Amino acid sequence: MQVEDIRPNGWACTYLVNNGENAVLIDPVWDHIDHYETVLEQRSLTLIACMATHTHADHITACFSLSKKHNIPYIMWKDTPSLGVTLYVDESTELNVGGMDFLFHHVPGHTQDSMIIETENHIFTGDFFFNGEGGVGRDDLPSGRLEEHWSSLNVFTRFSDGVLVCSGHEPPGTELQTLGWNRLHNPILSMKSLEQFTAWQMDSVEKLGSVSKIKVALPANIFAEIPDEIPWL
C-alpha cells in the first residue's frame, strides 16, 4: 500500500492511499478535483472512497462532489454535522475498502467531528495534530474545544513510535515524520498541563489571525453544496 500527499499547491494536504489498483482520497480539496482525476487516470487507479478527517473551515472539501460523481462512499465521523456523508464511522468500525483496511479514532478538539484515520503504519491526523513545530490545529473555530483537544492527545498511547504522521497542513515539500520523531520534536507532546496548552493555543491563534475562506467554505461543507460564486477562484 502506498501513501502520498498529492496536493498540487497550498498548505492543505491531500493524501492518496492506494494498492496499485484501488485508491482512497483523504481530505481532497474541491479546487483541485481536476488534478486528482488526472493523477488517478495517469496511474490507472480506481477511486473507491473519499474521507474527511473533520469538517474543514479553510477549504471546500471535494468529498461530496467526488462521492456523487464516482458513486463512491464519502466517509466521516458519526457525529459530523456535514451533509453529503454516505458512510458514518466510529471506533468500532473496521472498514475494508478495495482491499485496504482502515480504523478510526475520535479526537475532538479542533472540531467535534475530528478523527484520526489509521491504515497500516500511517495515521491521518487532520488538524488535530501537525508535525514538529506546527504543533496542533487551532481550537477557536466553530465546535472547537480546547480542553477536549488536550485530553484527546491521550490517543497517541495507542500508537507506536514507528507510525507515520500524515497531517492536514504542512509546508509544501515537507517529508512525512514518525510519531517517535514528533515525541521528540513536537512541542505539544512535551507539555505537562492544560495551562501550557492553552497558552500555546492563544499564541497560535494570534499569529494565524482570521480564517479567510471560512464564511464560504464552512457552509459549503456543512450543506454539501458548491456556492454559485467562490471568491478565491
Nearer Cβ to Fe ion, position 127 or 170?
Answer: 127
Q: How far is the CB of 116 from Fe ion (least distance, A)?
A: 14
Map the footprint of Fe ion across residues 148-187, applying CB under 5 A: none
Query: Could you count the other beta carbons within 10 Å of the beta carbon of residue 194?
Result: 13
Strand order in the sheet with 95-97: 95-97, 100-106, 115-119, 122-126, 164-167, 177-178
Q: How far is the CB of 160 from Fe ion (least distance, A)?
A: 26
Nearer CB in complex with Fe ion: 18/125: 125
By beta-carbon distance, which residue lies closest to Fe ion?
A: 127
Binding segment for Fe ion (CB under 5 A), chosen from 3-11, 119-127, 145-153, 213-221, is 119-127
Binding test (CB under 5 A) with Fe ion, winner from 5, 27, 118, 127: 127
Instruction: Based on the shown chain and the rule CB under 5 A, indicate whether residue 118 belongs to the binding site for Fe ion.
Output: no
Nearest approach, Cβ of residue 45 and Fe ion (Å)? 26
Q: Taking the CA of residue 85 as centre, how many other CA atoms within 13 Å lie in the half-sphere pointing to its CB?
A: 20
Nearer of residues 12 and 17 to Fe ion, judged by Cβ:
12
State the minimum distance, in angstroms, from the CB of residue 152 to Fe ion.
14
Segment near Fe ion (CB under 5 A); pick from 11-19, 43-51, 88-96, 125-133: 125-133
Residue (118 or 139) nearer to Fe ion, CB = 139
In angstroms, what is the minimal distance from the CB of 137 to Fe ion?
Answer: 5
Report the interface residues with Fe ion, using CB under 5 A.
127
